[in-house]
Amino acid sequence: MCGIAGTWNVDDSYNVLHDILLALQHRGQQSTGVVINGFKSVKGEGLVHDVLTDSNFVEGKRGIGHVRYSTYGSINEIQPITAYTFKGTFSVAHNGNIVDADERRKYVMENGGIFSTTLDTELFVHYFSLAPYHDPKSSLQWTLSRIPAAYSLVMLHSSFIAAARDRYGIRPLFYGKFGDGYVIASEDSALSSIGCDDIREVEAGTIVFFSDNTPCPEIVTFSQKDSHFCSFEFVYFARPDSNFSGISVHELRKRLGMKLYQEHKVMGDIVIGVPDSGFSGAMGYSHASGIVLDYGLIRNHYVGRSFIMPKDRQEIVRRKLAPMHSVIQGKEVILIDDSIVRGTTMKVIVDMVREAGAKKVYVGIHSPAVIGPCNYGLDTSRRNELIASQNEEEELRELIGADDLFYLSTAGYKQVFEECGVNGICTGCFDLNYPI
């Protein structure tokens, strides 16, 4: 999972990209990169505030940026990447995974192509260069029509900036008016945070061009829309103040929590949400059950998300979460979280809550069990890493050390999305029903 950003006709674009990427930091914490007009780049491993420093400031009114959580290619390679072609110089960054990248890379190399990185992003460079058009906009349309998924993409060309989503709309992308220009971001909350107006979602199968000769964005359809938005964006990755398809992430998570109680009706003394993405679901569970919601786990926000860290997850969990002994002591605790992927995080949390004096620990998950890998941009590409794919629910309960473990059903999960008006979602990691 990654976060991407762009600016067009925006003063001090470097500073604006800094603020946008900072608002998208939860989507990637391994590296940060920006390219400003003139194709001047600032890149480095680490967080936004470590890389995009005042001393690295680059003047310019347009640019693109990226925060990375690696799912394909070397962890040390940093987007955006820049290429020099007969159709002009351009830089590109994307969020997602090209699902058949290995086969496409092999085809390009067999036909004389040379790759300078291991990133699947570089495929956009080769297809753009080889497209049977002289015009760069037509070349980009041809490129994206040949690569089915999964990507949201920003491209900086000498004559335009482009924002695009694949025909399935698996990964999110938005743009909004900012002064006399426009800003692009993976989530609308990042645009709202800097005061953008008229925020719009880039539709699946479309490219939005921003260029000097068109005062308004030019929207071009390159493929027929077949929406399969990643429902895990709603469940886990997105900020709770974000919206997809006009639907609040926070409100949908609450509805999932309410549905979880309707299906299971597990009772206890208190409900505790696992920070941060489990908290909205815990609010829903508390509302539906009447059990008081309390602040039982405190998160240190200066430690990154354990799911997207490459190693030492158990130690990270202990450093980033602290139990409130006065809240937990002697209570039957219902822990609500968004998901269990590998199981290591939840086991540590259950142990911590027990150590804080809980009488019982019940774990409720406001999504179905993750049983399938994701090749669309999540770090769950190997099924044997997924604890729910290898164990039955009772075995899972024992492995995490809970007194009870209960998931939202796949049918109930889909029903909540339908009731909220979110149509066309990908649930492959829950039911192995993949759109591609």
List active site positions.
2
Helix (H) or strand (E) holding 62: strand 62-68
AA identity, residue 260 = L
Helix 279-289 × helix 249-264 angle, to 10°: 50
Q: Residue 243 gets which letter from DSSP? A: E
Spatial contact of 108 and 114, defined as CB atoms under 8 Å apart: no
> CA-CA distances (angstroms) from residue 178 to 16, 53, 406?
10, 23, 45
Of 343, 335, 275, 345, residue with least CA distance to 315? 345
AA identity, residue 366 = H
Q: Residue 293 gets which letter from DSSP? A: B
Torsional sign, CA 394, 397, 402, 406:
negative
Strands (DSSP E) found in 194-304:
197-201, 206-211, 214-221, 229-230, 243-244, 247-248, 270-273, 297-299
> CA-CA distances (angstroms) from residue 274 to 39, 117, 328?
42, 38, 13
Torsional sign, CA 426, 429, 432, 435:
positive
